[in-house]
Amino acid sequence: MNILAIDSSSNILSIALETETQILHEEIDKVYGHSEYLMECADGLCKSAGIRPSDLTLVACMKGPGSFTGLRIGFSTAKGIAFALGIPLIAVPTLDCHAFAYSTRPGLVFPLLDAKKSSFFAAFYRGGKRLTDFFDETPRELLKIMSNIMTSVDEPVFLTGSGAKLFYFRLEESHSEDFNLIKNINLDNKFDSGRAIELLKLAKNDKLYMTSEINSAPVYLRKSDAELNCKKNE
């Protein structure tokens, strides 16, 4: 199989290509450059791997939540490739990808994405399994949810995802009274990396996601500002 994986759910554009003999990966940190660089990167990876874009047999992208614009760009590009080549499109929840690399880590794995407006997109995982729905909540509410999920106040909690560092700082600044709860929280030193490599593995191997999403759309969790403003003006 020749699989192209696209993670455009955050500021980091992450693209990976797997062929029968190799895995190639590229990341670009351009806040507003996803639409400009995505196809260029994909084409460059194909050339480096010695294949043509028409040789792709599967394309994968992030399903959301994440950046409204980034998700739309990644999903529409992946859908266009899938339609043009007649190949499956696999869309994997963004937070699942962020948690996947730490499936064997003890305790809670807690991936977070900055949702703006003082909130975070998040979910809780233990032993590689998602324990909750996806949340769009403030740090205070997420701490409450976390306290109900932890097996004890000493259970380690591992923060990852592009919003992890911001969430950690918010806890330090505003929730010092919760020290007993947050004392075992650890921050992933690779929190701001893209997850195209993990997306490759999940799209290829995990039966949970082996259904083509070519007719579906990203999961946003909330309406965009443009949609909310339209309703106000109706």
Distance, in Å, from the CA atom of 157 to the CA atom of 2, rounded to the nearest integer, reads 36
pLDDT for residue 227 is more than 50:
no
Write the pLDDT tens digit of every residue in 132-141.
999 999 998 9
- Could you identify the residue written with the tokens 């554009």? 13
* CA pseudo-torsion sign 31, 83, 81, 211: positive
Cis bond upstream, residue 93 (ω within 30): no
CATH of 102-187, one of 3.40.50.300, 3.30.420.200, 3.40.50.920, 3.90.226.10: 3.30.420.200
Under the banding of pLDDT at 50, 70 and 90, the label for residue 232 is: very low
pTM (2 d.p.): 0.89
pLDDT tops 80 at residue 1: yes
Q: What is the largest CA-CA distance in the chain?
A: 57
Q: What percent of the chain has pLDDT over 70?
A: 89
CA angle at 181 for the pair 175 and 184, rounded to the nearest 5°: 110
Please, which pLDDT band fits residue 216 given cuts at 50, 70 and 90?
A: confident
3-94+195-233 and 102-187: same fold?
Answer: yes
Q: Which residue has the higher pLDDT, 201 or 192?
A: 201
- What's the Cα-to-Cα distance from 76 to each of 6, 30, 34, 167, rounded to whole Å? 11, 19, 12, 30
Burial class (CB in 10 A: 0-12, 13-18, 19+), 83: exposed
Dihedral-angle region of residue 156 (phi above 0 means left; psi in -120 to 50 means alpha; beta otherwise): beta
The architecture CATH gives domain 3-94+195-233: 2-Layer Sandwich (3.30)
Task: Work out whether the CA dihedral 217, 98, 90, 142 comes out positive or negative.
Answer: negative
Rounded CA separation 180/171 (Å) = 12
First-residue to last-residue Cα distance in the chain: 49
Q: For 97-107, what is the mean pLDDT?
A: 94
Alpha carbon of 208 to those of 61, 92, 107: distances in Å?
Answer: 15, 9, 23
> pLDDT, tens digit, for every residue of 149-191?
999 988 999 999 999 999 988 887 765 556 666 778 899 988 8
CA-to-CA separations, 63 to 76, 148, 176, 192, in angstroms, rounded = 11, 27, 35, 18
- Pairwise CA distance, residues 221 & 136, whole Å: 7
Where do the domains of the chain lie? 3-94+195-233, 102-187
